[in-house]
Structure 1
């Protein structure tokens, strides 16, 4: 797992220093509220204790995947740690808006809701050819809708499914799953998680 910096791909790139400071404060507050030491949190999420200390002090910014692991260890979501936690009954994100983050090299996610208190979480994801996610499982259910390209989805214990533009795939997110761009052109797709997992 790499501790890569957050990177934006559109005009609404995030201010890394501001996000790092806000994130650090939120992480420390949640960790202490749960009575965890940095060492215990490190054991839960698989990141090093020194790196977690840098995060809490606003001196480092994790990749979104690393933040996802920390958030899971703290029983929350990366989305709710990065964005304000006020309850918004409605959320409008127009074309070209929404904050975009690099997941790993060649993969990005754009948040399609504002605030961290929604019952479901839509995100737009882009993968370069051959790029994908690691085998993960989490609470709830996910729906994938392919916008461009081809996407390979593999659920543990099942044959892989290749999706094309316009295809929709719904599955229990508790089953560990790997999602990879298939084909030469990469892939762009919507993924909706309920409850929010990012």
Structure 2
């Protein structure tokens, strides 16, 4: 999605994509080709003038040999300028309900829902709040980290490849190992609210 003016999070995300691209000696055109994106869109993204969907961010992450989470963390660094953060001991912090890296699920403006990262900086695991409206399966995601899903509300199906489709209702959870292809869709209409926790990448 194109933006009229860049916001700080998109500027940070674009700068991180540019930094990683240059570190690998890639041109904009080369990275765009690897990620199956248009060169103009990637240029806008690096300048903070576009907001990627989760699918687009996944393609960029794979092309840069990193993860969506690593790129999201760059968009919302540990010191994000919060005026008066709640007092917590070292190693603890609060993510208010109106904050956290928020990325649309698809290229529509939150039309199919969004993903919100619930931590910032380095962490042992990465929880995300997912609001999902899409009732059709999209492409598979595959990453090396283990993942766990808990359904807060709604009904979803999770396709784990090889004809393994799991139906989940409110209160159900699902764990799968890294390397497992996966994709989700809402069933019975409406909206699903999920908590998804991904293990941290090995350093």
Q: Same fold by TM-score, threshold 0.5 exceeded?
A: yes
Tell me, in whole angstroms, the C-alpha distance in 1 between the residues paired with 2:182 and 2:150: 16
Distance across 1 between alignment mates of 2:137 and 2:161: 15
1:35 to 25, 48, 59: 25
1:125-160 deviation per Cα after TM superposition (whole angstroms, max 9, x unaligned): 011261554311111111000100111011111431
Give 1:56's match in structure 2, choosing from 35, 46, 52: 46
Stretches of structure 2 lacking an aligned partner (at least 5 in a row):
80-89
Residue of structure 2 in register with 1:26 after alignment: 16
1:109 offset after TM fit, Å?
1.1
In the TM superposition, 1:84-163 aligns within 5 A as 84=77, 89-104=91-106, 105-115=111-121, 117-128=122-133, 130=135, 133-163=138-168
Rounded Cα–Cα distance in structure 2 between residues aligned with 1:167 and 1:68:
26
| Aligned mates of 1:167, 1:148 — CA distance in 2 | 10
State the alpha-carbon separation in 2 of the partners of residues 121 and 25 from structure 1.
Answer: 22
> Conserved in 2, the CA contact under 8 Å of 1:64 and 1:102?
yes
Displacement of 1:21 after TM fit? 2.2
Q: Is 1:81 aligned to 2:74, yes or no?
A: yes
* Structure 1 or 2: more strand by fraction: 1
8 Å CA contact retained: 2:147, 2:197 = yes
Question: Which runs of 5 or more residues in structure 1 are unaligned?
Answer: 7-14
DSSP 3-state at the match of 1:184: coil
Q: TM-score, normalised by structure 2?
A: 0.78
The answer to which structure, 1 or 2, has the higher relative contact order (CA under 8 A, 6+ apart) is: 1
Structure 1 CA distance for aligned equivalents of residues 98 and 40 of structure 2: 36
RMSD between aligned residues: 2.4
For residues 16 and 133 of structure 1, the distance between their equivalents in structure 2, rounded to whole angstroms, comes to 28
CA distance in structure 2 between the aligned counterparts of 1:172 and 1:140, rounded to whole angstroms: 7
Mapped contact 2:113–2:132 kept (Cα < 8 A): yes
